[in-house]
């Protein structure tokens, strides 16, 4: 069977301009990256999806408005588990002294910086991270590896894509999968565009065609399992959605639909969303 990977445009919008609470830089105190609890979620939604929080949430108290987007945090538990795991890996893999992003506030500031500069190259983003770390111009003694790790963390939380070149899995090697990493001279928007090229598919591009309706009814998971013996594996990397591992007869399914819905919701009604550059920016 042929697995079709739909071209997906991730629509991202910029955060609100409301100030975020100051955070401590002490390793395991509230606000430090080593300490993650659910009280962070509303403000994380503010950073990622421009949530317009109620005054209760803005003051890190109880939510007081039925219309407040923080009511949706319950549905975002899976993404928050991802956030915690990715941040924890970053903290464990770096010493407190060399860590570029020491607090959630540092991390969110970096996410906002990337969102407001979607055409920045990876080299430029590293420089920007360095500048925000020290407040000075780039120094030849900076640690490129620490900055790269920080940039990878930011991209991963913003898009759920691992943009590093270091990631390999034995399974991926066995099945011949490839990986495009964000290169130093490539704008972030182009990196995303190249990951998800817009293609005209003879069936999938025509939502009202009879062929698509037939295909949808034929491509049910129960049928794939029953007739082709395919098993399914969840993935948090959207690039792997509908990737078929032929030898293993395993189909990967992206299982963070709530994350995607939040991005779509945040860009609904906004201007030009035809390219990552315009949909990521404010």
Distance CA 240, CA 37 (A): 29
Nearer to Zn ion, 64 or 213 (CB): 64
We find the least distance from the C-beta atom of residue 265 to Zn ion, in angstroms, to be 16
- Binding residues for Zn ion, rule: CB under 5 A, are 54, 57, 63, 68, 70
Nearer to Zn ion, 60 or 63 (CB): 63
Nearer to Zn ion, 34 or 69 (CB): 69
Output phi, psi for 22, to 5 deg: -65, 145
We find the least distance from the C-beta atom of residue 57 to Zn ion, in angstroms, to be 3
Nearer to Zn ion, 48 or 114 (CB): 48
**Token match 């609904």: residue?**
268
We find the least distance from the C-beta atom of residue 3 to Zn ion, in angstroms, to be 41
Q: Which residues pair with 253 in a beta bridge?
A: 234
We find the least distance from the C-beta atom of residue 82 to Zn ion, in angstroms, to be 22
CA distances from 22 to 105, 216, 241 (A): 7, 49, 37
CA distances from 211 to 4, 220, 227 (A): 15, 15, 20
Q: Is 250 exposed, middle or buried (0-12, 13-18, 19+ CB in 10 A)?
A: middle
Nearer to Zn ion, 69 or 118 (CB): 69
For residues 173 and 248, is the Cβ–Cβ distance under 8 A? no
The three-state secondary structure class of 263 is helix
For residues 102 and 166, is the Cβ–Cβ distance under 8 A? no
- As given in the structure block, the two tokens for residue 165 are 């070149």
We find the least distance from the C-beta atom of residue 33 to Zn ion, in angstroms, to be 24
Beta sheet of 250-254, edge-to-edge order: 231-235, 250-254, 244-245
We find the least distance from the C-beta atom of residue 16 to Zn ion, in angstroms, to be 13
We find the least distance from the C-beta atom of residue 116 to Zn ion, in angstroms, to be 25
Distance CA 277, CA 37 (A): 32
Nearer to Zn ion, 77 or 143 (CB): 77
Nearer to Zn ion, 58 or 195 (CB): 58
For residues 51 and 45, is the Cβ–Cβ distance under 8 A? yes
């Amino acid at each position: 069977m042929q697995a079709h990977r739909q071209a997906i445009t991730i629509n991202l919008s910029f955060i609100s301009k409301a100030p975020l609470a100051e955070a401590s830089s002490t390793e395991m105190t509230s606000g430090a990256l080593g300490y993650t609890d659910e009280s962070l979620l509303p403000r994380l939604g503010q950073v990622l999806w421009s949530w317009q929080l109620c005054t209760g949430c803005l003051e890190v108290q109880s939510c007081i408005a039925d219309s407040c987007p923080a009511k949706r945090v319950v549905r975002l538990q899976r993404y928050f588990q991802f956030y915690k795991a990715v941040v924890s890996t970053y903290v464990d893999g770096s010493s407190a002294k060399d860590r570029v992003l020491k607090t959630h506030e540092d991390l969110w500031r970096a996410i906002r910086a990337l969102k407001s500069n979607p055409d920045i190259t990876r080299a430029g983003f590293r420089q920007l991270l360095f500048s925000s770390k020290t407040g000075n111009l780039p120094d030849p003694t900076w640690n490129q590896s620490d900055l790269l790790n920080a940039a990878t963390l930011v991209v991963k939380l913003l898009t759920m894509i691992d943009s590093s070149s270091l990631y390999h899995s034995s399974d991926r090697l066995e099945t011949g999968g490839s990986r495009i990493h964000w290169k130093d001279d490539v704008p972030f928007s182009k990196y995303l565009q190249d990951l998800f090229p817009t293609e005209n598919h003879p069936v999938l591009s025509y939502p009202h065609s009879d062929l698509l309706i037939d295909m949808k009814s034929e491509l049910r998971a129960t049928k794939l399992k029953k007739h082709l013996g395919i098993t399914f594996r969840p993935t948090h990397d959207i690039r792997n959605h509908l990737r078929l591992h032929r030898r293993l007869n395993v189909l990967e399914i992206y299982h963070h639909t709530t994350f995607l819905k939040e991005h779509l919701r945040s860009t609904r009604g906004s201007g030009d969303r035809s390219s990552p550059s315009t949909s990521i920016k404010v």
